[in-house]
A and B are shown apart, each in its own frame.
Chain A
């Protein structure tokens, strides 16, 4: 077992990293004076892990399997986890994203019992034909709810406009048809391939003590033998599928997302790349930018407008989203500005302002337990360390940003997705 303490002077923060004998990576991040503890255990198995090699054999699972497995793991032979957590007063949840599944709880009391429930939950799969079939009703209703959500639809349609083959273009929950094909055998196989403690990480943030967590882990965790699982992604060309996509839904104001696809073949982005992109986007289209003001003046966006960087194994895109009475005109203005910025670059003064902004936002992130836990889990899976970003932003130069720009915001490789009413 390795036990390491990691500190950061600039942020006045510290945490502990334990490589536990069972195979689990444990990270304990105490926040002095906090009343509640937030714990989240994650496995690197999300909706895009639909094809993999496990035990020497190639496995393809129906879309929506990771999410289905998350729902079913919440139930074991002796009842569902929600009611176990309720008895000890913890508030619990779970979620499946494109690239991971996490199970979490937050409590101000009974931490030991809550963590025991969490450890039991991920170590005791129980799937029968009957329990698997029972979940189809609830998940179908969840899928239908997302079908009515313009936020969700405009994003998924964008991914379908950007990605030819990468499974990021499939709904996380799958469809009513694909989940009908899920069986207990499929769930057990995914469980064996991905719910192995060597592939998982636990982050505990807030009112937590590393030695207490370690003692509970010693007691509850059964050592896992390493398994050999390798995800397979289809080849994805640089080019987009189409530059415009549209869906009709009952909305009061059209919603849009404009995505700029990048080469995603290089694995996960580094912290330095992420920070550089944040600075670049802030200078390009943040609230203090000239472009943002022009979009406002032309009545093309409102205060709901925002930008984000979506990246993971095999996909990287910059995405702008908002509501607009004229999404096409908004997209045109942004695409034109993207072409111009490639010619002129970012100025020193724009860079300085954006750098300060991003530094402040990163510092703010350390106030929130949920954010810290998600950074730690993400960081474990992607090789990014939580304090690298604030250090990177303090040292970054204008040159770094303008170099990064060369690989981003290619207006010829962008797609506009719109959801509007009839």
Chain B
């Protein structure tokens, strides 16, 4: 496989590619990044759904789906996620490599073409999308938001963040609020399309066995001439003064305990890696402090996992606990964090966490989806490392650095979803 090669198309638009002959499926994606905003988050999210429903060439859902089926079941899908204080809207197509087409079709060229049609040539008329498309996709997005409540682990994490970051962009969420989605009008979505095409930061990626040059040239044509103004968000340092406790009750067999912490924020990719290792030692692996002590030794929860969001500078520890053990589990988690802060880390704990982190970095090289997610996830950071380079650097991180970073971790919010 080749390295991740990045080419600048114009201010704010980058095309990154990896040529790799190991896979039967190629992937092409466009990610539009904008600062999260209450005014636009919902419209942006709905736009990404509306765009993938039809376009001028395939003017309804069934026609577009048939086209995809004829390209050997190619996939076209939107995904909306949050990267720090940014909203990232990705539209991706993936499909079979030309070498495996039964009748010798050039599937990859068609897919690149299709992605451009989807983004740049939607079926719009007089400044509006088709009303039917808006209505359908709005209903589905609302249902999607409603069903986030079904997955209790996901829901508890989401509620912790909403409470912890209530005054920050971060709490807006990837879809905006339910109310915002509900009150969207067709014209809002059209305005979002125009705004994103002219002002969003755009990351294009093409991974697979096909030479990326044609697709690159195609995108140069679409983006090349227009000047763009790219908005950016400044990071705000937040120091929690007192811990916020929030509790909700539901008819559940197992309670959920989510603890939100502020931690080190550093825009540099190498610093993010160090923070990830700190979290891995605490609760990221089956030999971490939380797993071995809170789960295995004390049997206080079924899962108890920590993870950091390096694009925001927060750490979350979430666990599934018996209702009667909520307080005990919370104290036990804090006890392990205190040990970490005091430098109580064995060589074995540190080595195991490093091995686990390196294994995960190196494994990402075997999946185009994982690679795409790796590069897009780190796109806001400076000096982005390749997975290989990151694995090498992991070995050099000292125990002292882990302790230093652990001491920047401060409890902000405890959210409990209390069951029966």
Decide if A and B are genuine partners: yes
Chain A residues near B252 (CB, 8 Å)?
148, 250
For the complex formed, measure the closest distance between the CB of B163 and the CB atoms of chain A, giving whole angstroms. 19
Report yes or no: B72 in contact with A250, Cβ–Cβ below 8 A. Answer: no
- A91 and B71 CA atoms in complex are apart in Å by 36
Report yes or no: A36 in contact with B68, Cβ–Cβ below 8 A. Answer: no
- A353 and B65 CA atoms in complex are apart in Å by 10
Q: Would you call A145 an interface residue if the criterion is a C-beta within 8 Å of the partner chain's C-beta atoms? A: yes
Chain B residues near A180 (CB, 8 Å)?
none
Report yes or no: A144 in contact with B100, Cβ–Cβ below 8 A. Answer: no
Neighbour of A249 across the interface among B148, B251, B286, B368, CB < 8 A = B251
Report yes or no: A137 in contact with B73, Cβ–Cβ below 8 A. Answer: no
Report yes or no: A83 in contact with B359, Cβ–Cβ below 8 A. Answer: no
Of residues 243 to 292 in A, which have CB atoms within 8 Å of B's CB atoms?
249-253, 255, 282, 286-288, 290, 292
Report yes or no: B24 in contact with A367, Cβ–Cβ below 8 A. Answer: yes
Report yes or no: A11 in contact with B62, Cβ–Cβ below 8 A. Answer: no
Interface 1/0s, chain B 36-71, versus A by CB < 8 A?
000000000000000000000000011001101111
Chain A residues near B66 (CB, 8 Å)?
288, 353
Chain A residues near B351 (CB, 8 Å)?
87
Chain A residues near B302 (CB, 8 Å)?
138, 141-142, 144-145
Report yes or no: B72 in contact with A360, Cβ–Cβ below 8 A. Answer: yes
Stretch of A15-23, A222-230, A296-304 on the interface side: A296-304
For the complex formed, measure the closest distance between the CB of A387 and the CB atoms of chain B, giving whole angstroms. 13
Report yes or no: B147 in contact with A304, Cβ–Cβ below 8 A. Answer: yes
Report yes or no: A369 in contact with B73, Cβ–Cβ below 8 A. Answer: no
Q: Would you call B23 an interface residue if the criterion is a C-beta within 8 Å of the partner chain's C-beta atoms? A: yes
Report yes or no: A87 in contact with B69, Cβ–Cβ below 8 A. Answer: no
Chain B residues near A360 (CB, 8 Å)?
71-74, 95-96
Given contacts A36-B366, A86-B355, A290-B62, contact A302 B144 (CB under 8 A): yes
Instruction: Name which residue of chain A comes closest to B22, CB basis.
Output: A33
Report yes or no: A33 in contact with B1, Cβ–Cβ below 8 A. Answer: yes
Neighbour of A34 across the interface among B22, B24, B145, CB < 8 A = B22
Chain B residues near A141 (CB, 8 Å)?
254, 301-302, 320, 322
Chain B residues near A282 (CB, 8 Å)?
69
- Most-contacted residue by chain B among A91, A358, A360 (CB, 10 A): A360
- A150 and B147 CA atoms in complex are apart in Å by 10
Q: Would you call B356 an interface residue if the criterion is a C-beta within 8 Å of the partner chain's C-beta atoms? A: yes
Number of interface residues of A (CB under 8 A): 72
Q: Would you call B343 an interface residue if the criterion is a C-beta within 8 Å of the partner chain's C-beta atoms? A: no
Report yes or no: B143 in contact with A302, Cβ–Cβ below 8 A. Answer: yes
Number of interface residues of B (CB under 8 A): 64
Report yes or no: B359 in contact with A91, Cβ–Cβ below 8 A. Answer: yes
Of residues 17 to 43 in A, which have CB atoms within 8 Å of B's CB atoms?
31-36
Report yes or no: B65 in contact with A288, Cβ–Cβ below 8 A. Answer: yes
For the complex formed, measure the closest distance between the CB of B414 and the CB atoms of chain A, giving whole angstroms. 20
- A89 and B69 CA atoms in complex are apart in Å by 41
Chain B residues near A367 (CB, 8 Å)?
22-25, 367-368
Interface 1/0s, chain A 106-150, versus B by CB < 8 A?
111100000000000000000000000010011001101101111
- A177 and B69 CA atoms in complex are apart in Å by 48
Report yes or no: A353 in contact with B143, Cβ–Cβ below 8 A. Answer: no
Chain A residues near B358 (CB, 8 Å)?
89, 108-109
Of residues 235 to 249 in A, which have CB atoms within 8 Å of B's CB atoms?
249
Instruction: Name which residue of chain A comes closest to B100, CB basis.
Output: A363
Q: Would you call A354 an interface residue if the criterion is a C-beta within 8 Å of the partner chain's C-beta atoms? A: yes
For the complex formed, measure the closest distance between the CB of B53 and the CB atoms of chain A, giving whole angstroms. 10
Report yes or no: A364 in contact with B356, Cβ–Cβ below 8 A. Answer: no
For the complex formed, measure the closest distance between the CB of A29 and the CB atoms of chain B, giving whole angstroms. 13
Q: Would you call A356 an interface residue if the criterion is a C-beta within 8 Å of the partner chain's C-beta atoms? A: yes
Residues of A at the B interface (CB closer than 8 Å) are 10-12, 31-36, 82-83, 85-92, 106-109, 134, 137-138, 141-142, 144-145, 147-151, 206, 249-253, 255, 282, 286-288, 290, 292-293, 296-297, 299, 302-304, 323, 325, 353-354, 356-361, 363-364, 366-369, 394
Given contacts A92-B286, A141-B254, A145-B253, 4 further A-B contacts (CB under 8 A): A10-B100, A33-B21, A138-B295, A297-B136
What are 12 pairs between A and B in contact, CB < 8 Å? A33-B1, A83-B286, A106-B359, A138-B299, A253-B146, A296-B61, A303-B140, A356-B71, A357-B73, A363-B72, A367-B25, A369-B366
